[in-house]
Amino acid sequence: MTESQTYRAPFAPGGTAGIDPEICQRLLAVALQHGGDYADLFFEYRAGGAISFEEGITRSASRSVSLGMGVRVQRGDATGYAHVEDLTWEAMKRAAETAARIATGGSGSHTVALARLDLPHRYELSSPPIDQPGTEKRALLERASAAALGFDSRIIKAEASYVEEIRAVLIASSDGRMAYDVQPLMRFGVRAIAESEGKREAGRSGGGGRMSLAYFDAQSPEKHAEIAAKQA
């Protein structure tokens, strides 16, 4: 997996929140204290950004970060769920207690031994897009806009957009599994508008995926701009 150097999940191994197998085992024990058949913990961290470029200027730029942890408890057909955004022990314990109340009866004593799962490294990037300078991403948008406008005199407007995210998840379950994963994401799009004889048509092109900005070595902004302009 490819960790971000700038946006690293607090619950990552060795992270600032101190979420380790022992903490997860204690939380699962709390979640099962009223007799639940199964429980799991789900930690999620997202950091993302977006840039839109139009008429030679950056129309908007945004950045967001979210963090949370959920507890799920099942007993028969009943499911209890609770969620918190605070990863202190007190807050997480309250969430586990809340979810546990849906499941009553049965044994209230559970010991869970967690084993970390080694997940396949599907997204081995030299650096996730979110760690790259904003000026580099803006330059990609400028290139796409200029290429679309320059493709044909009938292209009267070009819009380009870039969206990125890095998502980290940690799951620990009462059946003994614990896994951590990081998932980068990048999307790029171009929209061209053509006008001829009073009629307007629009064309679009886009791409991206769980990859680095090296994507643009093969799928250049100019190539996307040409596709959008031809459609328009």
pLDDT tens track for 165-204: 999 999 999 999 999 999 999 999 999 999 998 899 999 9
Q: Is the pLDDT of residue 114 over 80?
A: no
Top-confidence range, 56-60, 120-124, 203-207: 203-207
Question: What's the pLDDT at 104?
Answer: 67
Q: Is the pLDDT of residue 221 over 60?
A: yes
User: So what's the pLDDT on residue 203?
Assistant: 96
Share of the chain above pLDDT 70, in %: 90
**Percentages (nearest 5) of helix, strand, coil residues in the chain:** 25, 40, 35
Confidence of residue 100 (pLDDT cuts 50, 70, 90): very high
pTM: 0.87
Res 60: pLDDT: 96
With a cut of 80, say whether residue 103 has pLDDT above it.
no
Tell me the residue length of the chain: 232
Q: Provide the pairing of β-strand 155-173 with 115-116.
A: unpaired
Type of residue at 26:
R
Q: How far apart are CA 42 and CA 204, in angstroms?
A: 37
Do the beta carbons of residue 53 and residue 145 sit within 8 Å?
yes
Could you give the domains of the chain? 21-231 (3.30.2290.10)
Q: What is the distance between the alpha carbons of residues 145 and 161, in angstroms, rounded to a whole number?
A: 10
Question: What distances in angstroms separate CA 129 from CA 26, 160, 213, one per listed residue?
Answer: 36, 17, 6
Query: Residue 69 in contact with residue 84, Cβ under 8 Å?
Result: yes
